[in-house]
Structure 1
Amino acid sequence: MLRRRQNNRSRDLAIALREMGTGAQASLWPQLSQLRLPLYLFVGALDAKFVAIAHDMLTTAQLTTLKIFADCGHNIHLEAPEAYVKAVLLGLLHHSERGNVL
C-alpha cells in the first residue's frame, strides 16, 4: 500500500482532498438524533481523531454500535481485513435476525 501511495502525484492528491475530503462534506450532525436505523461505527484505536468523533456520535445517535479495532489506524479495512469483514458480517447478521431487511 505504501509503495502504491508513493506513486501518487501531489497535484492529484490535493484535488482529491479538496473535492472529496471530510471538509468538503456537508455536516449531518443535526440529523443524527433523528436517525432510526442501526449505525455501526468502525474506527481504529490509533486514529485518535475519529475515535473521538465516534464517541460523540455514540452519544448523539440512537441504535449505535461502536467497534474500535486495536492496533489499527484510519484504514481498518486494509490493516485488519479479516476482523473488519467479521464485524460487518456480525452487524448484518444481527440486523437481519431482528427481522430488518437491508
Structure 2
Amino acid sequence: MRYRALDENGDFTLGNAHAYIDGVDAVRQAVITRLRLLVYEWWEDINDGVPYWQKIIASRDVAAAEQIIRERIQQTPHVLSILSFDPVWDNENRTLM
C-alpha cells in the first residue's frame, strides 16, 4: 500500500521526496483518515465515512459506537485483524477514547 503522507497539521505533503509512505505507516494513516471521514463529506461517495452525528452522537449508545468504529477499522485495506481494542467512554466529557 502506498499512501500520500500527511504533515503534522493533517495536510497532504506535496513536492518532496517524502510525499508518500508505504507499509505499516501507510496502513496506520489509512485507518486514521478513514476514522476522520464523516458521512456525506466525500463528494465521490457521500455514504462513505463514519456516521458520528447520525448514529453515534445522536444515540449515545456506547456499544454501537464501538462496533461502528471497530468495523470501520477492520474494513480498511490491508488491516488483517485488530489485536487490541479497549475504548474508554468518558461520560462527563462525552468522549470515547
TM-score (norm 2): 0.31
Larger Rg: 1
Q: Which of the pair is proportionally richer in helix?
A: 1
Structure of higher RCO (CA pairs closer than 8 Å, 6+ residues apart)? 1
Query: Normalising to structure 1: TM-score of the pair?
Result: 0.30
